[in-house]
Copies of this chain bind each other. A is one copy, B any other.
Amino acid sequence: MMEHVKGLRCVRCGAEYPAAPGAAVCRCGGMLDVVYDYEVIRRKVSKDWFARCRDDSMWRYRAFLPVEDSTPAPALRVGWTPLYAQPRLAEKLGLGSLWVKDDGLNPTASLKDRASALAVAKATEAGADTIACSSTGNAASSLAGNAAAAGLSTYIFVPARAPQGKVAQLKVFGATVISVQGNYEDTFRLSAEAIDRYGWYNRNAAINPYLMEGKKTVSLEICEQLGWEAPDFVAVSVGDGCTIAGVWKGFKDLYAAGFIRRLPRLLSVQAEGCCPLNRAIHENAPWRPMEENTLADSIAVGVPRNPDKALHAIRESNGVCVEVSDKEILDTIRLLGRECGVFGEPAGVAGTAGLRKAAELGLIPSGASVVTIVTGNGLKDVANGIKAAGEPIKAAPDMASLLRAFAENGIRP
């Protein structure tokens, strides 16, 4: 039994459930949240314990995760990604200090690996040998990779429009990939029917209460890497809301267990062309669906899956909401590449684009300490990298031509 887990509680109606491996949503339709016994966590781990811990993955935080002690950690090394101090960029943006958390260095190159690793662990506990989900992007490829490493089968439902590159990742990892000739709504519905019919383990983030617990490990790492301090702000790009909700849960758990003494404020960044959650905060009104007009495909979510937890997190943290244009996203791909040597995908750098804008607009006090999370690797979307970065200089293979090309392009070596 999971001594440190009290159970599951509905975020909407408060109903309580035991923490069964196959748990889904509340009978009222609300999402479930994992409730911990922080006394037990404190007996298991301490700052000293972590200082000696040699596990360089998210599984160093097992005491904070809803898994049995006996459940093996999945095979791929997920988490413990680098947190880079960026003094030059902090100065440019007028911040006191800035760190970039590069979560594109996870095994399948996105933060979603944290959730998929947990899904694989829970599927193992449930005795399942097959996991399924519907997704067009990083959730799918991370599930396929993490499941393959664990010897589990996957069924992945993608809409016909899914980009070829992400389909390639899925196929390389050996998933059975069903291209549904319809839109995303059709795809989700068919996956739900098939999951019911075949009894596969369900890794749809809108259903499974454990995935967010995997995602929260990014915050646990940030605090440990900062010497058990939270920054003033954490900037994060927001699509269906699961990631920002997971980020907030991580800080709250650490606070409740006595590992940090204050909580950060969240900076929720959405695309101008698709920002239903931020709009709800700005208008202080219920969220409404929106079109999906942005090149940042991973956060192009007009009907977010996890609005309750996400909106609650932003409000509870006294958060700031900012929207960014596609141009600002592309500019930030270049900025992070040039200043930090970090190449993010469009949705991956949107948080940083929003930070830049928030700093310019004076929404973040100068002198603040900020962590920005890059959630996915730019190699997942090379086309937009090219769009962001421009063309090389051309020169014939002799010194005179090189000098002419330098002069024409205003380059003075």
Chain A residues close to B by CB (< 8 Å): 56, 75-77, 80, 82, 84, 88, 102, 105, 107-109, 130, 144-151, 155, 158, 160, 164-165, 167-174, 176-182, 186-187, 189-190, 193-194, 197-198, 200, 333-334, 337-343, 377-380, 382, 385-386, 388-399, 402, 405, 411, 413
Identify 11 residue pairs between A and B in the complex whose beta-carbon atoms are under 8 Å apart, listed by A's number. Answer: A77-B84, A148-B337, A155-B413, A168-B389, A172-B385, A177-B393, A178-B402, A179-B392, A180-B396, A181-B396, A190-B402
Copies in the complex: 2
CB <8 Å contact, A148 and B187: no
How far apart are A338's CB and chain B's nearest CB, in angstroms?
A: 3
Nearest first, the 6 A-B pairs at minimum CB distance are: A149-B341, A171-B389, A174-B338, A172-B337, A186-B397, A177-B392
Are A84 and B76 in contact, with the CB atoms below 8 A? yes
Minimum C-beta distance from A141 to chain B (A): 9
Query: Which of A158, A168, A396 has most chain B Cβ within 10 Å?
Result: A168
Which B residues are in CB contact (< 8 Å) with A169?
343, 378-379, 385
Distance in Å: Cβ of A97 to nearest Cβ of chain B = 15
Q: Return the contact of A377 from the options B75, B160, B379, B394 (Cβ within 8 A).
A: B379
Q: Which residue of B lies closest to A151 (CB)?
A: B88
| B382 adjacent to A343 (CB under 8 Å) | no
A112 to B160, CA, bound (A): 37
Q: Given known contacts A107-B341, A145-B343, A394-B179, is B82 in contact with A77 (CB within 8 Å)?
A: yes
Minimal Cβ-Cβ distance residue in B for A177:
B392
Give the shortest distance, in Å, between A406 (CB) and chain B (any CB): 9
B84 touches A399 (CB 8 A): no
Asked if A388 and B343 make an inter-chain contact with CB atoms under 8 angstroms apart, the answer reads no
